[in-house]
Copies of this chain bind each other. A is one copy, B any other.
Amino acid sequence: MASSAHDPGGAPPSRDDYVHHRVLDTRWRDNDVYGHVNNVVYYSWFDTVVNDWMIDHGLDIHGDVVGFVVSSGCDYYAPVAFPDPVELGLRVGRLGRSSVVWELGVFAADRIEPVATGRFVHVFVDRSTGKPVPVPHPLRPGIEGLVAD
């Protein structure tokens, strides 16, 4: 459980390894039969943090360019549970012409190490043709600022 296939051999990231931070609520329904937040919910947090950040930096979600998720993944190190909030850290692993690799860390109040780390890849496409297009201009400088060192 300790090491992720995506960060082989590396030390787990800390809060400082992420550039943007956001606290998110948990919901009653996030806990499953086993009493912890279900593994699916983490991806909902990832979507929320990234889209919130993009909207805040000028993405028009009703515009001609949309971000399609082509790949996603998460490694889970320790459980969390409602009603505790979680803290999300966001950074960019790679910025391409049309694509962004978002990297996320999930942190809980009582731990320095993340309880989970995740990632997903957006490819920006023209809504009508479905063809890849450049990352929208208003977003690019902000995304560059999220690129991890």
Contacts and interface: CB of A to CB of B under 8 A. Distances in A.
Interface of A: 1, 4-5, 24-25, 27-29, 31-35, 38-40, 43-45, 47-48, 51-52, 55-56, 61-62, 66, 68-77, 79, 82-83, 120, 123, 127
A5 B44 CA distance: 22
B61 A44 contact: no
Contact of A61 (B25, B33, B39, B40): B33
Given A32-B28, A44-B29, A47-B28, A39 B1 contact: no
A130 to B, nearest CB: 9
Contact of A28 (B51, B71, B123): B51
Contacts of A74: 71-73
A55 B73 contact: no
Contacts of A48: 25, 27-29, 82-83
Contacts of A76: 68-72
